[in-house]
Amino acid sequence: MRLERLLAILMLIVNRKRISAAELAEKMEVSVRTIYRDIETLCQAGFPLVSYQGVTGGFEMMDGYRLDRTALTFDEISSVLTALKGMSRALDDTRYGTTIEKYTSLLGDTEKESVRFWQDRLVIDMNPWGSDGIMKHKVALIRESLQEDRTVKFGYSSVNGEPTIREVEPMTLLLKGASWYLYAYCPLRNDYRLFRLSRMSALTVTGNRFERRDHPPAEEADWGRMWEMNSKPVTLKLRFPPDMRARVEELFGVERLETDTDGFLLVTQTYPEDEWIYGFLLSFGSKVEVLEPERVRLLIRERAKEMVKVYGL
């Protein structure tokens, strides 16, 4: 732990013009006295640190010093920093901040300005609008279970709304699009399953340890297979009015759109057929018409009739 702290202190000093002992103590969560001991250790190791007294005092690295970055180009470091900042927004983990400091310390002053230039123009934030930290807490719990090989227990709703209580052995935490999933072995189903974190409730890390099972690593095709495994796929042909173009392009992509002779938008898309897809179609109200298959078209019409009964004429 002390070695990690020494490296973190070194990175902070390299990246800042000047940083005080009090600020270092706050960031490292140790006493000021401990910081002074750490600074002395770094000096004895040969790092050219300079100390300034007074209200604006602190520690600096001697002018002209920077860490070696053999085999890393500026573009590579810049790309890593952009990705790390995106992950630090998605995860509550102070280690990302330390890693960012380490990579930043490899850059000269002019390069640091270039990095800041692009960071103002490209931001990666995987948190949805209005997020309240609940998802970050779930992610943190699952990361804890993965680190300690402990099972997690939670209430879960299937795509058809069926509630169950699961205790599973976590294998992989997956961020797909803007949604978090847990790939885990489920004793209830005696198989590996993909669980969406947004459908978990009362998530806890148990005291039950498990031996990580020997299984082939899941690839992109496996995620898709598990996402579809609870229902058969259905290919939908949908028709939207012209005033829905912006939303349709956002949901399906410009490349999937066709325009008929009346200016209406046509989309053909394949989904697993379950309660989610019915709710998705009904969320458009009168702004979508299911052209194919006829079975789904009739099902949506019947559900629309049931909604009219609920709200009255």
Closest to 126 (Cα-Cα) out of 196, 71, 184, 178 = 178
Query: Above 60 in pLDDT, residue 263?
Result: yes
Report, as an integer, the average pLDDT of 34-42: 89
- Residues 274/231, Cβ–Cβ less than 8 Å: yes
Q: Is 155 helix (H, G, I), strand (E, B) or coil?
A: strand
Least confident residue range of 213-217, 249-253, 298-302: 213-217
151 DSSP assignment: E
Upper half-sphere CA count for residue 276 (Cβ side, 13 Å): 15
Q: In this structure, what token pair is assigned to residue 226?
A: 């598990």
Report, as an integer, the average pLDDT of 64-69: 62
What is d(CA 142, CA 148) in angstroms, rounded to the nearest whole number? 10
**pLDDT of res. 134:** 80
Report, as an integer, the average pLDDT of 287-297: 92
CB-count burial class (<10 Å; 0-12, 13-18, 19+) for 68:
exposed
Report, as an integer, the average pLDDT of 279-305: 91
Q: Which helix (H) or strand (E) holds 77?
A: helix 74-90
Report, as an integer, the average pLDDT of 136-157: 89
Least confident residue range of 3-12, 88-97, 262-271: 88-97
What is d(CA 9, CA 26) in angstroms, rounded to the nearest whole number? 11
- Residues 290/299, Cβ–Cβ less than 8 Å: no
Report, as an integer, the average pLDDT of 181-192: 88
Least confident residue range of 1-5, 161-165, 173-177: 1-5
Hunting for tokens 């299937």 — which residue is that? 158
Least confident residue range of 20-24, 167-171, 179-183: 179-183
The angle that helices 2-15 and 21-28 make with each other, rounded to 10 degrees, is 130
* Per-range mean pLDDT, top range of 61-70, 123-132, 248-257: 248-257
What percentage of the chain exceeds 70 in pLDDT? Answer: 71
What is d(CA 143, CA 226) in angstroms, rounded to the nearest whole number? 21
105 phi and psi, to 5 degrees? -65, -15
Q: What is the pLDDT confidence band of residue 168, given thresholds at 50, 70 and 90? A: very high
- What do you get for the CA distance between the two ends of the chain, in Å? 69
**pLDDT of res. 237:** 93
Q: What is the pLDDT confidence band of residue 296, given thresholds at 50, 70 and 90? A: very high
What is d(CA 249, CA 267) in angstroms, rounded to the nearest whole number? 10
Cα 114 off chain centre by = 26
